[in-house]
Structure 1
Amino acid sequence: MKKILLTVLLACFILSGCQNKNEEPGVVARVNGKPIYLTQLEYKYDLSHEGNGEFVPSVAQVREEYGQILGDLIVQELVSQELEQRNIPVSAKELKDAENEVRSDYPDDSFEQILIEEYIDINQWRSQLKYQLVMNKFYHDVLRPEIKIDYKVAENYYRTHLSDFYMPAGFRFVMVKGLSKDLVLKGVKLYREGFSPAEISAKLREVSVREIWIRSGQIPAGWKALVDPLEVGEATSVITQKNEFLCLILKESKKATLLTPLQAYPAVEKVLLEKMLEEKFEAWLKDKIATSEIKISKELLPEKENNDHKNSPIEAAKAQ
């Protein structure tokens, strides 16, 4: 993505001219005539530095970060316009549903309260949420249908990346841990009776039950003698460890295996799909930039670019 944003910014620098004296205040860029405002840059910049109250960046750092953020906003605007042209824009209902889903994680009016405490403008937040939906929709509805993963490509990837599909030998244990030996034994008894880890923790509040995976050769020295003789379903005696006690129940013992092509296909497909989507997006973006008018404020150009522009013969003539 950094490579893509750099492409966008370079294109912007080429297309940028003198700032129009009649330009609307607060506009830092235009994408096919549509404005991008300084408030949008400031919002994303503030979010990226949330919690860094003592950090005081240099002017050069701020300029660089604003340039990166602007590149991101330009890409989002181009994608948004593409969806509009295809008559599949993010609808008001889709935006509202997404907002309600976020709000559902917060009780009562705590969502608004958090925004107030973090000095986040609700309209800016909604705008950013919409752009996230825009990007997701573009990838899912526009780029994804154009991609077909040939089985020969998938098979070739599998064969050239076999080490990625090698599953090492290891053991899966249920670990029952508590503050006393008796509590641990009670926890083991409840587990064998079919109680879930959550139910056991509810009954025995000082006992935790969870699954752990340990590769062969990585079992702690203090456990090895107790674990080696276990058959699936058997448990170790209670192990004393610092100020706590634990018991291990062997749930699964796996030998080292190499996933078959069929077993590995979901993982192969995911890797190839991500790569192909990125390539598709980059190709689309380059074509879109070539046919779009993108202008940015000269104040956001890199220092050298800005100085070259000021010192150009044309600018010198205009100044006279």
Structure 2
Amino acid sequence: MVPSPSLLTHALPAPFRRHSSPPHSGARAVLPLLCAALLALLLAGCGEDPLPEGVVATVNDRPIMLRTLEAVHDMNSMSWSGHAPSVEQLQAQYGGVLSDLIVQELVAQALSRENIAVTDAEVAEAEAEVRADYPAGEFEKSLVEEYIDLDLWRSMLRSRIAMQKFMRQVLRPTISIPLEEVEAYYAAHKQDYRLPRRVQFLVVAGPDKAAVDKARAMALNGARPADVEAAQPTVTVREVKMRRDRLPALWSKELAGLAPRQASAVKQGEWGYQSFLLVGEIPEKQLELSHAYPLVERVLLERKMDEAYARWIEAELRTARIRVSAHLVPEPRGAGAGGGNGTATGGMPNSADMQHPSGLGQGMQPPDAMGEGGPAVSDTLPDLAAPPPAEGGKGAAAPPANGAQRKAKTK
């Protein structure tokens, strides 16, 4: 990809972004109720013995450590405004991160009950895919420049793989999509599966004008793009299908007046020297159900996965024993300073805060992917936020991810 995607984007193999689909109530409609339920469960722990030193929460007696919370919070804070956040903002930020960690722990325990493990080999394979986007030595250099601890990053990668396996191996088998349901959805949304009229063309580009001229001649004679690129290694040939009203102005100008199998003159452009070869016009087309079936099935699967995830979260909250440090409890409006020191109380923002980027709703959003063949990359876990490799191997400055104090940088 150009530019190279971030570590988060490539944290899992074969990511699929959520395609456009009609809005649905599904799991997102019950998120405020789930947030309120979690807060109530947490607050119910008030008055119990304080949590051990260094522990910010327990999930069924399994601890979440303060150092992990601080490190993940810093890892997710990819920008530093220079202004110290308020106590309320810090509570919301740390509460949001903690809610993510609690969901991770609930998922890990669910996988353990099913005897499903995330192996070291799976983590190593996923890490190798990320490293492949970096020149030799640049991966480690980026981690150092962004204050990201490699062991913590691997731990977050393991949690993300765990969520993927949970969606694929635990929730997905509970879902069925009958043919009748697909047919009914297609009939009700037939207009969504109509391909508009498009123009099909080739973009032949390269740094050397003579090479582009030769590649252009080969393409005009009917050579396949792969054969053209093999014959002229410095040249790339891209096949594009696009609506004319969405063409960039330069492309539209170059294609104007061309007949099928004609090409524009080689000119210097955005990719060095380039030429446009018109293949033809693709007429508007209605996708029949046989072709639209996988697209419809995916929309329905996403909806049902959302709903299944919401039901699972709700069931887990009824039975899980969750205790959270009192230091993360949002005080009621107008309340003065106070609170215990490490007592087991609620640690998330209330349901009104769920729209905050790091609020409780973020941690409880139904995932968008199960991995290969499923919906797209999960949004429920903290970002594995190492930067994409930039020119010269340097990325933008970011806060530390190991709980250490930020060091001010001066220009």
Query: Normalising to structure 1: TM-score of the pair?
Result: 0.81
Which residue pairs with 1:10 in the alignment?
39
Q: Structure 2: how far apart are the matches of 1:153 and 1:287?
A: 27
5+ residue gaps, structure 2: 1-26, 340-411
Length, aligned pairs only: 306
Residue among 55, 75, 83 paired with 1:47: 75
The Cα shift of 1:87 comes to 1.5
* Structure 1 residue runs without a partner (length 5+): 312-320
Q: How many percent identity over aligned positions? A: 35
Code of the residue aligned with 1:235 in structure 2: it is Q
| Alpha-carbon offset, residue 250 of structure 1 | 2.3
State the distance in 1 between where 2:88 and 2:304 align: 35
Distance apart, 1:113 and its partner CA: 3.8
Structure 2: how far apart are the matches of 1:119 and 1:180? 41
| 1:11 shift after superposition | 3.9
The CA distance in 2 between the partners of 1:204 and 1:156, in whole Å, is 50
Determine which of 39, 55, 74 is the counterpart of 2:102: 74
Give the C-alpha shift of residue 9 in structure 1. 4.0
Q: Find the counterpart in structure 2 of residue 238 from structure 1.
A: 265
- Match of residue 285 from structure 1: 313
> Which region of structure 1 is more displaced relative to structure 2, 175-184 or 157-166?
175-184
| AA at the equivalent of 1:80 | A
Q: Which residue of 1 aligns with 2:122?
A: 94
Aligned to 2:204: 176
Following superposition, the deviation at residue 42 of structure 1 comes to 1.5
Higher Rg of the two aligned structures? 1
Q: CA 1:133 to 1:7, structure 2 compared with 1: closer, same or farther past 3 Å?
A: farther
Partner residue of 2:49? Answer: 20
Q: Give the 3 Å change call, closer, same or farther, for CA 88–218 of structure 1 in structure 2.
A: closer
Structure 2 CA distance for aligned equivalents of residues 76 and 37 of structure 1 = 13
Q: Work out whether 1:276 is the aligned partner of 2:304.
A: yes
Mapped to 1, the partners of 2:332 and 2:227 lie a distance apart of 61
Query: What is the deviation of 1:27?
Result: 0.8
Greater relative contact order (Cα < 8 A, sep 6+)? 2
**149, 164, 189: which is aligned to 1:136?**
164
TM-score by length of 2: 0.64
1:176 and 1:184 in contact (8 A); partners too: yes
CA-based RMSD of the aligned residues comes to 3.4
Distance verdict in 2 for CA 1:283–1:61, change over 3 Å: same
Q: For 1:186-197, list aligned pairs within 5 A.
A: 186-192=214-220, 194=223, 196=225
1:127 deviates by 1.7
1-side partners of 2:161 and 2:264: how far apart? Answer: 53
Which of residues 277, 282, 292 in structure 2 aligns to 1:264? 292
